């Protein structure tokens, strides 16, 4: 009702692979995030499977975590695979998400990918891209993405976005995809990733809307009852997962965004057989998606916290359950939208002040081909929209221990040497693209010592006339052919065995890979 289909499905032709300057001065604007997070006890959180406690999400060790992530769509479309693989390698995309400070990927899918033999479309295998995906089914590609995300310290939330690739449905079922198929497929995915704590939960159905109701008691329309049926089915095969339940459009005559109205939770909470598993999810958008009455209120944007409190914020503020804003986005083209996003980010609570005692979120979207919001990436699928990404800086949060696994904390930096150790690091320099007049490169810094490091510097000398034109996730100085890159505020702290990365553009191309040295403190 409130918006047309957001997902532009056509494959965009890749522009020249130029990573434009994403960060003023080279440093990510999450100033001192790691230090601030450590003060509130979240820096090393995220081990194993998660559960809820009041309004917080806790890891297997009881430490609070904050979901601060991004939507990467495509598995729910006719492509049956995440978009952008027609121009980039999936690992480079995940590396870039991590380098920007996102810690979770919400992965939309449709039931089509669970059909026997469902294959991905529009994946580029040239020049070694996506080489390990060739010949795989859509589900097998999802397996690879989950594995690499977990290895990189990112979590995955599976989002049953649509019954099929044709489009969104108001209810969780259609004539072609009945409720039995929906539940069977949810259980199949829950079983597939059982024991792999990279997959922390399943968003049961995307954006239920009219005629869906909440608490009306009609089993054909009552989304709350359907969520209980599906949630219990999922937990019957994988009791460790979080069950993420979106709202509806209309409750008690009050309408809002599709999936964004959780007013009914107060009287009709979702009750599951396994306790401490429910996370409520709201969606919220700006005028680039659709107009709402609150945008024209004379007090806008001061009225917005009251709007959010009414629809979903009260659940968090009354300590009923955690709240995850699973989608929010905008083109940022209008002043109204800019003020909306600034107000929403403030409402979601900064990590430096509140740590993980905050709202959870995944921004819509990573993809640039979302028709009425755009994405964090620009149309070349490489360049970061630094203005949009910058709005989110204060609510980003630390990543999680890598490795996934069945509840194993998997933190390679723990225990550490109680007496301290000699800080040590290595750096790997990779040219990701070279078009003659310029090139892009990425450098991965790995802590090879036995104790955590708090900062690092990487140095190299080019044999030719190359110069850095821009750099992200690090700052740099260049003297002649010698470049020294130092960590940004958010990625200097690296646990033993862990890694951080940064990237840069340079000119001219053809410089090859120089020898690099790494110094840690």
Give the CA-trace dihedral at 352, 355, 359, 361, to 10 degrees: 70
- For 344: left if phi > 0, alpha if psi spans -120 to 50, otherwise beta; the answer is alpha
Cβ-contact 502, 474 below 8 angstroms = yes
Place of tokens 């989304």: 223
Residue 235 has which token pair?
């937990």
Rounded to whole angstroms, how far apart are CA atoms 394 and 376?
A: 16
Rounded to whole angstroms, how far apart are CA atoms 67 and 437?
A: 40
Rounded to whole angstroms, how far apart are CA atoms 92 and 165?
A: 26
Active-site residue, from 44, 207, 246, 442: 207
Least Cα distance to 324 among 361, 356, 355 occurs for 361
- β-pairing, 68-71 with 425-434? unpaired
Cβ-contact 31, 492 below 8 angstroms = no
Rounded to whole angstroms, how far apart are CA atoms 193 and 2?
A: 35
Residue 96 has which token pair?
């870039």
CA torsion through residues 306, 157, 220, 78, sign: positive
Rounded to whole angstroms, how far apart are CA atoms 9 and 401?
A: 34
Rounded to whole angstroms, how far apart are CA atoms 223 and 207?
A: 11
Respond yes or no: is residue 34 known to be catalytic.
no
Cβ-contact 311, 261 below 8 angstroms = yes
Place of tokens 């007090």: 299
Cβ-contact 257, 2 below 8 angstroms = yes
Given strand 474-479, what is the order of strands in its sheet? 474-479, 482-487, 456-461, 516-520
Respond yes or no: is residue 246 known to be catalytic.
no
Active-site residue, from 34, 44, 327, 442: 327
Rounded to whole angstroms, how far apart are CA atoms 360 and 203?
A: 14
Helical segments of 193-264, H only? 223-237
Residues tagged active-site: 207, 327
């Amino acid at each position: 009702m409130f918006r047309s289909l957001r997902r532009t499905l056509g494959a965009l032709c890749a522009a020249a692979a130029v990573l434009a300057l994403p960060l003023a001065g080279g440093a990510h604007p999450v100033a001192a995030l790691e230090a601030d997070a450590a003060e509130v006890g979240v820096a090393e959180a995220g081990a194993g499977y998660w559960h809820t406690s009041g309004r917080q999400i806790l890891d297997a060790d009881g430490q609070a975590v904050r979901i601060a992530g991004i939507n990467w769509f495509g598995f729910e479309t006719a492509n049956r695979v995440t978009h952008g693989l027609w121009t980039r390698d999936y690992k480079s995309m995940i590396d870039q998400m991590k380098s920007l400070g996102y810690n979770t990927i919400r992965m939309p899918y449709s039931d089509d990918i669970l059909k026997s033999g469902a294959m991905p479309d529009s994946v580029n295998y040239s020049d070694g891209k996506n080489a390990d995906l060739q010949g795989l089914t859509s589900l097998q590609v999802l397996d690879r993405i989950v594995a690499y995300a977990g290895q990189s310290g990112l979590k995955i939330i599976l989002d049953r976005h649509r019954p099929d690739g044709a489009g969104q449905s108001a209810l969780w079922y259609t004539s072609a995809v009945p409720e039995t198929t929906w539940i069977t497929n949810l259980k199949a995915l829950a079983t597939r990733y059982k024991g792999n704590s990279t997959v922390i939960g399943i968003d049961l159905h995307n954006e239920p809307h009219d005629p869906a109701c909440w608490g009306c008691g009609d089993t054909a329309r009552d989304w709350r009852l359907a969520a209980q049926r599906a949630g219990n089915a999922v937990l019957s095969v994988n009791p460790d997962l979080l069950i993420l339940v979106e709202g509806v459009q209309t409750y008690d005559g009050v309408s809002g965004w599709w999936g964004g109205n959780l007013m009914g939770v107060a009287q009709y909470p979702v009750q599951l057989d396994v306790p401490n598993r429910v996370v409520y999810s709201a969606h919220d958008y700006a005028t680039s998606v659709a107009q709402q009455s609150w945008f024209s209120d004379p007090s806008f944007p001061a009225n917005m916290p009251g709007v959010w409190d009414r629809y979903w914020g009260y659940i968090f503020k009354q300590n009923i359950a955690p709240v995850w804003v699973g989608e929010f986005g905008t083109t940022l083209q209008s002043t109204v939208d800019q003020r909306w996003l600034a107000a929403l980010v403030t409402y979601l609570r900064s990590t430096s002040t509140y740590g993980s005692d905050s709202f959870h979120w995944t921004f819509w979207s990573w993809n640039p081909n979302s028709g009425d919001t755009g994405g964090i990436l620009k149309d070349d699928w490489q360049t970061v929209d630094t203005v949009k990404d910058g709005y989110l800086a204060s609510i980003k949060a630390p990543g999680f221990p890598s490795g996934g696994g069945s509840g194993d904390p998997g933190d390679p930096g723990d225990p550490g040497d109680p007496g301290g150790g000699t800080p040590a690091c290595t750096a790997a320099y990779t040219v990701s693209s070279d078009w003659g007049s310029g090139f892009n490169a990425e450098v991965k810094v790995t802590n090879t010592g036995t104790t955590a490091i708090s900062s690092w510097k990487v140095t190299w000398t080019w044999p030719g006339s190359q110069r850095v034109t821009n750099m992200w996730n690090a700052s740099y100085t260049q003297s002649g052919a010698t470049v020294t890159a130092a960590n940004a505020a958010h990625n200097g702290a690296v646990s033993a065995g862990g890694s951080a990365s940064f990237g840069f553009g340079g000119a001219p191309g053809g410089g090859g890979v120089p020898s690099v040295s790494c110094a840690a403190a």
